């Protein structure tokens, strides 16, 4: 059965710290991996990764994919209280008639001032 596992489930750090969130997957016919940030209710798109070893970067956030070891990491440097959110990882995998996203349970990140 296809699955996506995120770790840790929750994390509390202080402002200015660097954090690394993990996402491992066991998915047949992997197509892409996506990271979303969920602050209140609506998850918002961060990154899509399809190729191994190529880092995607946006400001203080960056992510990389390792297709050999089947995982991805999301790094946040110089964290701010506004980074507090649930970070969701999803893997695109084939379904009966199309592709669908298989989601991890998320990492709840709390940044203390």
Select the span of 11-19, 28-36, 51-59, 70-78 touching another protein (CB under 8 A): 28-36
Q: Token pair 């695109």 is at which residue?
A: 92
Establish if 88 lies at the interface with another protein (CB under 8 A): yes
Phi, psi of 24 (to 5 degrees): -115, 155
Measured from the CB atom, is 70 or 102 closer to another protein? Answer: 102
41-70: contacts with another protein (CB under 8 A): 41-45, 48
Instruction: Please choose, from the candidates 91, 89, 88, 37, the residue with its C-alpha nearest in 3D space to the C-alpha of residue 60.
Output: 37
Establish if 97 lies at the interface with another protein (CB under 8 A): yes
Q: What does the alpha-carbon distance between residue 83 and residue 40 come to, in Å, rounded to a whole number?
A: 12
Q: What does the alpha-carbon distance between residue 107 and residue 18 come to, in Å, rounded to a whole number?
A: 15
Q: What does the alpha-carbon distance between residue 78 and residue 13 come to, in Å, rounded to a whole number?
A: 11
Evaluate the CA torsion angle 6, 10, 15, 19 in order and state its sign. negative
Q: Rule CB under 8 A: choose which of 34, 53, 70, 112 binds another protein.
A: 34
Establish if 73 lies at the interface with another protein (CB under 8 A): no
Establish if 92 lies at the interface with another protein (CB under 8 A): yes
List contacts with another protein (CB under 8 A): 6, 9, 32, 34, 36, 40-45, 48, 88, 90, 92, 95-106
């Amino acid at each position: 059965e296809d699955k996506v596992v995120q770790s840790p489930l929750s994390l509390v750090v202080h402002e200015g710290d660097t954090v690394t969130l993990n996402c491992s997957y066991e998915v047949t016919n992997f197509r892409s991996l996506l990271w979303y940030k969920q602050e209140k209710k609506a998850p918002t798109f961060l990154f899509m990764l399809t190729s191994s070893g190529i880092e995607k970067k946006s400001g203080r956030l960056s992510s990389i994919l390792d297709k050999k070891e089947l995982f991805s990491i999301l790094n946040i440097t110089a964290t701010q209280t506004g980074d507090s959110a649930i970070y969701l990882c999803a893997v695109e995998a084939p379904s009966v008639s199309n592709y669908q996203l298989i989601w991890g349970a998320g990492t709840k990140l709390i940044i203390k001032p």
